[in-house]
Structure 1
Amino acid sequence: MNRKSMSLVMTGFLWSTPSCIEGLSRILDIGNTFNAYNASSTPEDADARAMQSDWQVVGADMASAVNQYQKADNHERSSKK
């Protein structure tokens, strides 16, 4: 999967992405008070969002594999001419 498609699909959406300052402050967070999660209204909603995200990653991987195959196939065909 290329970096562009990786940035479009987030597999760990339940975890928030800290800023640089938050990341540095976690070094001193002895009481583990900075843990924050992206909340869902129900467990079923969280599961549905996780499954959707997982399948988006699978789809992006499949698209990447097809593109790589097509490029290799086109290169092979052009080298035979």
Structure 2
Amino acid sequence: MRWWRTQCRPASGALQTALQRAGAAHARVETTDALGIAPHQVEALAFAWLAMRHVARLPGNLPTVTGAAGGRVLGALYPR
């Protein structure tokens, strides 16, 4: 996966203001459209990524962010 240095603008103006105050003001801010992802698709893509990680039995969390003791496979799959 390629990591971008550009920050994507959150939909919430209050969140954007808080991020700028936290030191992100120097980053270029764009919508996800700049990355070829329509803003209304972001949530669906995030859940698809989480599902892919679960099916592949790969961790879906970031312990450095969540405080978890380690990587964990997230969610559950209920076949019919």
- Please classify the TM superposition score into its range, dividing by the shorter chain length: under 0.3
Q: Which structure is larger by alpha-carbon Rg, 1 or 2?
A: 1
Higher strand share: 2
Higher relative contact order structure (alpha carbons within 8 Å, sequence separation ≥ 6):
1
TM-score by length of 1: 0.27
TM-score by length of 2: 0.27
Higher helix share: 1
